[in-house]
Structure 1
Amino acid sequence: MRFSFRAITVAGFLLATALSGPRALAAPPEDVATVIEKVLSDDFANANYGDARKKLKTLLDRCKKESCPPKLTGQVHIAAGMVLVQIGKTDEGKASFAEALNIDGTAALPTSSAVTPAMKTAFADAQRSWIVANNPDDPGKASWTNKQALDYAKQAIAADAAGNLGDCIEKEKAALQIEDQPRGRLHLASCYERSGKVIDGLRESQKVLAAGIQKNDAVIIKAAQARINALLPRVAKIGFEVPAGVPDMKVTFDDKVVPKEKLSQKFSIDPGKHKIHAEGTVRGVLLVFDEVREVKDGENALVTVTLKPSALTEGQIACMFAAKSQEDILNCLPQDKKPLVVRVGLDVGTYTDTTSVQVLTPGLNASITSPTQGWNVGGSYLVDIVSAASPDVISTASHFFRDTRHAGAVSGGYKPSFYGAQASASLSVENDYTSRNFGATLLAELMDKRWTPTLGYYRTQDTIGRAGTSYDVFSRELGINEIVAGSSIVMTPTAVLQLGFTLQSERGDQSKPYRYVPLFPSGVGIPIGATYDQVNAFRLPTRPLEQLPVARERYALAGRYIKRIGTATLRAEERAYFDTWGVKASSTDVRYLLDLTRRLRVGPHARIHFQMPASFYKRKYIGTLNADGSIDLPKYRTTDRELGQLLSVTGGGTARLELSPPEEKVQFGIQLDADAMYTRYFDALYIKSRLALWGVLRFEAEFQ
């Protein structure tokens, strides 16, 4: 047992020696280290405490004469303190531990079973007292090696004592530029904190903590952590709520400009008083905002910027005293009334695809708006000229067809203040199809125009016929009721989120009167994309007309995010759709528009659409031939591949050129949109895929 106890004691003390730092390995006198080892392994382990004390005292006297390294001298005091505590002289043991710390601030008890709880308690008491007496915050105790740095540090201490924290900061910074001392940096952090610069104090304390960890200095680490823990809860945060519709808005915080992209974020600040200034032009009038805000320790502050003109008449002042919002304040200003704004647009669209369908669509639109009175009227007219020789046409024994659709629409709205309405009506006529639509949307501008909810209802009444046949002879009616709810939210001065929900209820037979559906006997395999000849080779003689369900409910949930990023605009959309026919779909659309100059804007466009099929859709419908020659038909049947499973990928771009300078009252612009769409049909007859190209060229004019 004696051998085991000695081995543990010696090994533990030597481990503490090894861990005490690099300087402990700087070749101490070998006989001194040997004596420490023998005292602990022989005398201390065998309870010969009197002999141990004498030998350690002799060793200390020798170290004083021969200048032992501080690390080694500190270990002698630690060993002496252990002996004193073991024989009940706890106070003397604490004094010996304190002396060890005075010589070597990193001195510690050995990690061995010989260290009793009483020794640990005594050492902890001595260490606490030593830290108080040797506060790392006291730069006077720092081991400055550069005389000029030491002089600056002394001047910083003197300035601190005189209550001149500004000079304290400047002098301590000057000292640290010459020589980096953790205690000096902690003193700088203290001066920052007491002068109200909490964030600067926190930053300096974090530097001290990093240095302490690098040097494995437990005292410095502990002091830095204590200061960081005290400063963190004091850090305050501030954010800004700015009005929309002020493109030249400029905000300064303590005379420093806040970048526009940061206005929607909160950032850390020192507690105390801060000066906020904002300005911007609205309706040709320069508006300003000034406020001195006192922020408390740890406060999460929000500044609501309310712009007001810098010079007011008595009537305007009285009006603004009664104002309750930014909009009310703007209504008190001289109105920059504009004349009527007239817009006219001409456009030509083209479409072609690999199924031999071509469409030419010229169109005209015009509108008149009164910006000051809040009303608007408008109208549009277009013509679709369609020619096709697609597989669907050929499958009906027709080789080519041409059709023309005429469509017109009118609209009007009125919004005198925060609430308004917009109504529209349209009529579309083909040689076998007539569609009528009318409806209205109510809207409100709430929360200083940051939130705009809308609610609308639209009714569509369609008449389906056959070309060359009077509606009196053959026609079907299709009625559609649609409810649209939406919300536009101004999230930041540069970001808008739009949400919408649509519900459509359809009643009526919308089956195509020209679409014949092939039926096949059971057991016949028909490949995906089977040609017209393959279908005819295996189908039954009977080809019934398409038959769709006469009721359908459609649901769609959509979101759009628009963000201004520097000189570019990002627009991302997502739409989820499902209906009672079993169709489910997702559409994702992204545009990125970049302002290359004041007049030229270009950008790419991408869209992806995926759809699951209707529950009754089949590539191969089975017809059962009865004994009497009749055939049992499927209740619902169609060859409309747009009701099947498909994937569409679209890519293209936009380019717009403003032909007039922005400041001109008469504006002209031209825009080109071009896209290509590839669609893959996973379970259809006649084709497996389709590639479509389309483009629109627009010419627009605006007059005041």
Structure 2
Amino acid sequence: MRVFALRAFALITLLFLAWQASAAVLPQDRSDIMYHRYEGDGVTIDGPSVLLRKKVGNHVSVSANYYVDTVSGASIDVRATASPYEETRKETTIGSDFLHEKTLLSVSYTNSSENDFEANSVYVGISQDFFGDLSTISLSYSKGWDEVGRRGDEEFSEEADRQKFGLGFTQVLTKSLIVGLNAEHISDEGYLNNPYRSIRFLDPNSSQGFSFATEIYPNTRSSNAYSINANYYLPYRAALYADARVYSDSWGIEAQNYKFGYLHPYKGFLLDVFVRYYTQEAADFYQDIFDRQNQFNFMARDKEMSTYSGVTLGVGLSYEWQFSQSALIKKSSINFEYDYMDFDYEDFRDVTAEAPVGEEPLFGFAASVVKLYGSIWY
């Protein structure tokens, strides 16, 4: 069962591939095939994804996505308490969009499976254009059911339920500027921690001065996120884009994310460069080291629950071929993106280093993500 950050990466990659059409317009018929690779903190994730989308008449579009990623290696958490591992996750999504005048209804079902984790979720979203198609409002709801296992322990079985509510508003302010506002509320209940993660606590009977014990999390969590994004089209067909997002939850985590990018087209090519900055405050029950094993009711040492910040620099390049509208294939494109990420943790120490307890160097790592995919429209 991988760390939250890796799951987030997989989700972001999938959403990047599964292009979404604007409201009141059915998604175009297209097929995508992608390969992605992540390397960082001693872990490698890679695999393919295939997306197919096809209209049925003028009011319905259906889609299917198959996604595979293989995880191998050992992050800092694993290196401290266990040996490297390898696992494969397979995810399948089927969905449909229904268009009625200026209203678009989208539904989908997703199953994600690996050797110690099974997740199922459903999604429903609706969007409506109004004010001469210059404004769009959207509502969404998703519900997920997770089954959590543990490698080597067939008796271990836990469950978690997740719900997500979304509200969005997009407005064309001028012929060059589009602004969007979004709000999300997420509610989780059940087994919400990772059965492989451990806290560390002071132990004078241990040769290293500390020992490990399983993390203990609350069984409920609610979170809220608010974001604003803008796209500004420049006179020479290029564009600037930016977004800002704030997040807080009932565990005490507060986070901010800012992104700024530039798009520049040139003779069929499209260059995309961006920078993203992320910062987060730790959960209330997080500590790098505890005084004793059962010091508090809830205790966590997952580095993703700590105070940390990260910077991502990304560059993407795509090329598009246009064909006759009477041809079987209307157009195609090939796309490449490379992201470099650097993370620094303010209160999570590298316990694999040789140093006195509590004086180990603070942890940090760099990672890279490569995405290569091709698309055809028909």
Matches within 5 A, 1:255-274: none
Does 1:512 pair with 2:187? no
Paired position in structure 1 for 2:69 = 384
The structure-2 alpha-carbon separation of the partners of 1:486 and 1:662, relative to structure 1 and needing over 3 Å to count, comes to farther
Unaligned runs of 5+ in 2: 1-25, 351-361
1:309-337 deviations in Å (ceiling 9; x for gaps)? xxxxxxxxxxxxxxxxxxxxxxxxxxxxx
Q: CA deviation at 1:384?
A: 0.8
Q: Residue 622 of structure 1: SS of its match in structure 2? A: coil
1:608/1:648 contact within 8 Å kept: yes
Q: Distance in 1 between matches of 2:285 and 2:294?
A: 16
Matches within 5 A, 1:530-569: 537-540=208-211, 543-566=212-235, 567-569=237-239
2:186/2:223 contact within 8 Å kept: yes
1:120-178 deviations in Å (ceiling 9; x for gaps)? xxxxxxxxxxxxxxxxxxxxxxxxxxxxxxxxxxxxxxxxxxxxxxxxxxxxxxxxxxx
Q: CA deviation at 1:661?
A: 4.8
Q: Distance in 1 between matches of 2:59 and 2:177?
A: 25
**AA of the residue aligned to 1:417:** E
Paired position in structure 1 for 2:185 = 503
TM-score w.r.t. the length of structure 1 is 0.46
Unaligned runs of 5+ in 1: 1-337, 523-534, 624-630
Paired position in structure 2 for 1:691 = 366
Count of residues in Structure 1 that have an aligned counterpart in Structure 2: 338
**Residue number among 104, 120, 124 corresponding to 1:436 in the alignment:** 120
**AA of the residue aligned to 1:573:** D
**AA of the residue aligned to 1:571:** Y
1:514/1:545 contact within 8 Å kept: yes
Q: Distance in 2 between matches of 1:664 and 1:643?
A: 54
2:199/2:288 contact within 8 Å kept: no
Matches within 5 A, 1:167-206: none
Q: Distance in 2 between matches of 1:614 and 1:701?
A: 44
Q: Distance in 1 between matches of 2:339 and 2:193?
A: 30
1:571-593 deviations in Å (ceiling 9; x for gaps)? 21111100010000110112211
Paired position in structure 1 for 2:22 = none
1:396/1:514 contact within 8 Å kept: no
Paired position in structure 2 for 1:637 = 299
Q: Percent identity?
A: 22
**AA of the residue aligned to 1:495:** L
Q: CA deviation at 1:463?
A: 0.8
Q: CA deviation at 1:369?
A: 2.6
Paired position in structure 2 for 1:349 = 36
Does 1:393 pair with 2:78? yes
Q: Distance in 2 between matches of 1:412 and 1:607?
A: 32
Q: Distance in 1 between matches of 2:202 and 2:313?
A: 38
**AA of the residue aligned to 2:68:** V
Does 1:405 pair with 2:75? no
2:200/2:288 contact within 8 Å kept: no
**Residue number among 258, 261, 273 corresponding to 1:591 in the alignment:** 261
Which protein has the bigger helix share? Answer: 1
The structure-2 alpha-carbon separation of the partners of 1:344 and 1:632, relative to structure 1 and needing over 3 Å to count, comes to closer
**AA of the residue aligned to 1:574:** A
Q: Residue 198 of structure 2: SS of its match in structure 1? A: coil
Runs of 4+, deviation exceeding 6 Å:
none
Q: Residue 427 of structure 1: SS of its match in structure 2? A: strand
Which protein has the bigger strand share? Answer: 2
Q: Residue 394 of structure 1: SS of its match in structure 2? A: helix
1:499/1:560 contact within 8 Å kept: yes
Paired position in structure 1 for 2:135 = 451
Q: CA deviation at 1:689?
A: 0.7
Paired position in structure 2 for 1:486 = 168
Paired position in structure 1 for 2:18 = none
RMSD: 2.0
The structure-2 alpha-carbon separation of the partners of 1:482 and 1:493, relative to structure 1 and needing over 3 Å to count, comes to same
Q: Residue 78 of structure 2: SS of its match in structure 1? A: helix
Q: CA deviation at 1:389?
A: 2.2
Does 1:678 pair with 2:339? no
The structure-2 alpha-carbon separation of the partners of 1:536 and 1:440, relative to structure 1 and needing over 3 Å to count, comes to farther
